[in-house]
Amino acid sequence: MTTALDTWHQVVRTCDARLLDKLIADDAVFHSPIVHTPQVGKSIVVKYLSAAALVLLNESFSYQREIIGDHEA
């Protein structure tokens, strides 16, 4: 069974933002340090994360630390 965190790691490893559609809930809310209002809904959250993936997910990106808890990952 694939967990949500496994799917996220696959997004990072493969740079395949299309996988986000399986990962993000319909009622997701994205709180960005750049945008001053919460972005509500799967469609907009997937768009923001896909755009971030295009910028950040390259050969110079690597995880330095990972936080896994009951309400965050």
Query: How confident is the model over 15-63, as pLDDT tens digits?
Result: 788 899 889 999 999 998 888 899 999 999 999 988 888 888 778 877 7
The total of other beta-carbon atoms located within 10 Å of residue 15's CB is: 14
Torsion region of 24: left, alpha or beta (phi above 0 gives left; psi -120 to 50 gives alpha)? beta
The per-residue pLDDT for 4 is 84
The per-residue pLDDT for 73 is 60
Token pair in block for residue 54: 């295009």
| Predicted confidence (pLDDT) at residue 1 exceeds the cutoff of 80 | no
Token pair in block for residue 27: 């009622």
* pLDDT: which is higher, 69 or 71: 69
Rg over alpha carbons for the chain, rounded to the nearest Å, is 12
